[in-house]
Amino acid sequence: MKLSSKARYGLKAMCYMAENYGKGVVSLPTMAESIGVSEKYLEQLISALRKAGLVEATRGANGGYFLERSPKDINVGEILRVLEDGLVIVDCIAGNCDNKCMCNTYNVWNKLYKAINNCLDEMSLDSLINQEV
């Protein structure tokens, strides 16, 4: 399983906002430069995270983005599921299966899917920025 650049840069952006949590808003240009991605691409990622209720924005000359909740209350699984279409590793996990998910391999994929999600759900943004993972 290989995660896309959406997941990698989206998680970096969330960590950046977590590091600045409680200090005010973070501007898109500053964040984009800090994590090494274009503003246009970052704006797409932030838009998805906003729709999921993880990030909020303020408009205007001093506008920018900030986390909707404390970094302790946002887990990595939430973020990656938004950016990676639910982290579905094979179609049958999402119910899109020709054999109605009754093939011999379904249990393997389901067990792997659950293990990945459980692991990611145990990691908060706070634990990432404090290198406690």
Q: Which domains does the chain have, with CATH numbers?
A: 5-129 (1.10.10.10)
* pLDDT given for residue 102 in this prediction: 64
* Span 65-90, average pLDDT: 92
* pLDDT given for residue 99 in this prediction: 65
State both tokens at 4. Answer: 């896309």
* pLDDT given for residue 100 in this prediction: 57
* pLDDT given for residue 2 in this prediction: 79
46-75 burial code (b ≥16 CB/10 A, e <16): beebeeeebbeeeeeeeebbbbeeebeebb
- In tens, the pLDDT along 21-58 reads 999 999 999 999 999 999 999 999 999 999 999 999 99
- In tens, the pLDDT along 96-129 reads 766 655 677 788 888 998 999 999 999 999 999 9
Cα 44 from Cα 10, distance rounded (Å): 10
Cα 82 from Cα 3, distance rounded (Å): 12
* pLDDT given for residue 19 in this prediction: 96
The whole-chain average pLDDT of the chain stands at: 90
* pLDDT given for residue 87 in this prediction: 80
Per-residue HEC secondary structure of the chain comes to CCCCHHHHHHHHHHHHHHHCCCCCCECHHHHHHHHCCCHHHHHHHHHHHHHCCCEEEECCCCCEEEECCCHHHCEHHHHHHHHCHHHCCCHHHHCCCCCCCCCCCHHHHHHHHHHHHHHHHCCEHHHHHCCCC
Q: Is the pTM of this model over 0.75?
A: yes
